């Protein structure tokens, strides 16, 4: 299998700023919807986790909207960790079998099943 050349979307600082903005919008919408922040804040991804999800989503879009199989997903996440070393711990955490305590953690596990 040949690997595509490294193509960084943007600096990590820019990606983190975009992700923080996205999270702020999610929080605001849920608050305006009457939800209790004590109920949902733990369910939301952290900024760096959202950065990884956004980068992964970009890869899905670039591949014609086809969701990656398990092997391709591993390669995509591995490439993110290589391109953005500061996200390595987050990537391996998403790939790992650690404890799942947020609703979206469980949903990502279901997608792998």
- Average pLDDT of each block of 10 consecutive residues along the chain (113 residues)? 54 95 95 93 91 92 86 91 94 74 52 51
Coil/strand/helix, residue 55: helix
C-alpha torsion angle, residues 76, 85, 54, 51 (rounded to 10): 150
Query: What pLDDT does residue 6 have?
Result: 47
Tokens in use for 86?
A: 């500061």
Place of tokens 């390669």: 75
Residue 3: phi, psi to the nearest 5? -95, 145
Query: What pLDDT does residue 95 have?
Result: 84
Query: What pLDDT does residue 96 have?
Result: 78
Reported for 57-60, long-range contacts at CB under 8 A and 24+ positions apart, including other chains, are: 58/9
In angstroms, the CA 54 to CA 102 distance is 18
Query: What pLDDT does residue 4 have?
Result: 47
Query: What pLDDT does residue 3 have?
Result: 45
In angstroms, the CA 70 to CA 19 distance is 25
Query: What pLDDT does residue 42 have?
Result: 86
Query: What pLDDT does residue 66 have?
Result: 84
Ordered by start, the domain boundaries in the chain are 12-112
Query: What pLDDT does residue 43 have?
Result: 86
Q: Supply angle C-alpha 24, 37, 107, rounded to 5.
A: 80
């Amino acid at each position: 299998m040949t690997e595509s050349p490294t193509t960084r979307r943007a600096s990590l600082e820019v990606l983190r700023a975009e992700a923080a903005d996205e999270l702020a919008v999610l929080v605001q919408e849920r608050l305006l919807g009457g939800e209790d922040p004590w109920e949902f804040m733990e369910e939301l991804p952290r900024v760096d986790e959202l950065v990884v999800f956004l980068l992964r989503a970009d890869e899905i879009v670039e591949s014609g909207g086809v969701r990656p199989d398990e092997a391709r997903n591993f390669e995509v996440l591995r490439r993110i960790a290589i391109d953005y070393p500061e996200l390595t711990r987050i990537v391996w955490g998403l790939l790992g079998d650690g404890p799942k305590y947020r609703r979206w953690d469980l949903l990502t596990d279901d997608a792998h099943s």
